[in-house]
Amino acid sequence: MKELLIILIASALVNNVVLSQFLGICPFLGVSKKVETAAGMGAAVVFVITIASAVTSLIYSCILRPLDVTYLQTIVFILVIAALVQFVEMVLKKVMPALYSALGVYLPLITTNCAVLGVAINNVNKDYTFLEGIVNGLGTSIGFMVAIVIMAGIRERIEDNDIPHAMKGSPIVLVTAGLMAIAFCGFAGLL
């Protein structure tokens, strides 16, 4: 149980997928304009990464490794992730149409979000067990959600402040992301 807690904390804070590994930057910068939208995207990513971690782990250990076709892992993982994102998209369109339209093009982009594929490949490369892989996926996705919601909150506050014209838009967002990455480096001493 202690090892699972360490994996959870390490993947969420110490090795934050966005701010330490720099994966998933596109939705991080694109969807973080409003906290509600960022939280919805974060929840969708939590679902997709956690389920993808479980499914890809099973496929890898039960099909790819026994058949000695592990070289197909990337293609198979992408197909699994694409199917899961389609499922999330259909559910959001039916259950939460406002969130579905607010996420716009970024929801299907979860399919190409390198963070999702990166977690699945990291689970295989680190030789995590099924449960460890799920915990790593959950921690990574929670870390993504925390980072995107914090960024959205900061961006909402930035809108109310008077900043130099040259720093408006993308420059201030990138500086903010850099400062957040530096702040998350402080978690390195946690474990």
* Contact indicator for 145, 35 with CB cutoff of 8 Å: no
DSSP secondary-structure letter at 190?
A: G
pLDDT digits (tens, 9 = 90+) for 54-77: 999 999 999 999 999 999 999 999
- Give the DSSP letter string of 95-126: H-HHHHHHHGGGTGGGTT-HHHHHHHHHHHHT
- Give the DSSP letter string of 4-71: HHHHHHIIIIIT-TTTTS--SHHHHHHSTTSHHHHHHHHHHHHHHHHHHHHHHHHHIIIIITTTT-GG
pLDDT digits (tens, 9 = 90+) for 111-162: 777 888 999 999 999 999 999 999 999 999 999 999 999 999 999 998 888 8
Of the pLDDT bands very low, low, confident and very high (cuts 50, 70, 90), residue 108 is confident
